[in-house]
Structures are given as structure tokens and as C-alpha cells.
Amino acid sequence: MPEINIFSENIFEGRDLDEKFFIDKARKILEFYLQTPEIYENSCLHRDDYDTVSFDFLYCDSKKTHEINREYREKDYPADIITFAIFADAKEEERFIFDGEINLGEVLIALDKVDEEAEKKGTTKEFELMFLISHGIMHLLGFDHQTEEDYNFVVGMQNKALEAVGYDKV
């Protein structure tokens, strides 16, 4: 198992967040994914030699994700999550490993959207945030969901990962 470095920053002033708690859970989710052959063998990490994997979380509001969506993705709406999978999205010959460390990228999560979704779905804010964290990590590993089959695979794996770290599907 590689060393896992996860960094986070909460710039959303509407809610305090126990970042250490969510970093610990995200680490366990990534470990679960790396130990699951159908994920690891199809991930962007499969063919490379590395000792360390790192990535970042930025907790913000939907105003920020709207701005980033417009600027970088040419989409004019606020998102609950945006993932910049810099390693997975790079061509294999352009992937950069420095001193045995792979930087997978960054996940931005709009906490106000997390709160809205939790209320709409009747789940807890914590569960909804954990669902997005697990989703973002799947994207960082190179998984997308352009087809219904891909979507079902990603969500199915997320549910297994969440269950493995103590969150049953709500």
C-alpha cells in the first residue's frame, strides 16, 4: 500500500468541518479502492511505480463551483463536485511522477449543495459529503460515468467503499 497524503482546505464560511475526520475516511476509501482488483487494475495507477499518492480537497460553496464550471468547463451552472484529475486525464507519456509521488489532482466540493442534497434525499450531511468524497476519488483514479453501465459501476463501488468505512447506503 502506498503512502497516502491528502490535503484539505475549507473556504466555505457557512459551516465548520472536521477536516481530519474526512481526510481519515478518504484515506480508508482510497485504500479500499486500491485493494479492489476491478478498480485498481483499471485505474490510472495500475502501470506505474510509485511510493506515494497525494491529492487535495477544497470545500467551498456553489458560487465557487459555478465560477470554476464557467471558466474551465464552459458550463454555466453550480456543481456539487468538480474533480480535476490531473494524473488520470493526462496522456500516459505526459504523466508526471516526482520522487515516487503521484499527485492525482484536486476535488472541489460545494458544501451548500451537500446540505441541499442531504435535505432533499433525507440523508445526513455527513453521508452526503462522504458520498461525494468517494465519488471524487473514483474520478481521480480515472473513472467516469458517461454511460449507464459506467455510472452503475462507479456508484456501486462507491457504495461498497462507504460500507467498508462504516456508512451503509442511506
Architecture in CATH of 3-164: 3-Layer(aba) Sandwich (3.40)
Q: How far apart are CA 123 and CA 170, in angstroms?
A: 6
| Domain extent listing, the chain | 3-164
User: Which residue type does 40 have?
Assistant: Y
pLDDT of residue 167: 84
pLDDT of residue 120: 96
pLDDT of residue 169: 55
- At 103, phi and psi to the nearest 5? -95, 110
- Which residues sit opposite 103 in a β-bridge? 54
* Beta-carbon contacts of residue 144 (< 8 Å; ≥ 6 apart): 150, 154
Closest Cα to residue 132, out of 13, 2, 17?
A: 17
Tens of each residue's pLDDT in the chain, 170 residues:
999 999 999 999 988 999 999 999 999 999 999 999 999 999 999 989 999 999 999 999 999 999 999 999 999 999 999 999 999 999 988 999 999 999 999 999 999 999 999 999 999 999 999 999 999 999 999 999 999 999 999 999 999 999 999 987 55
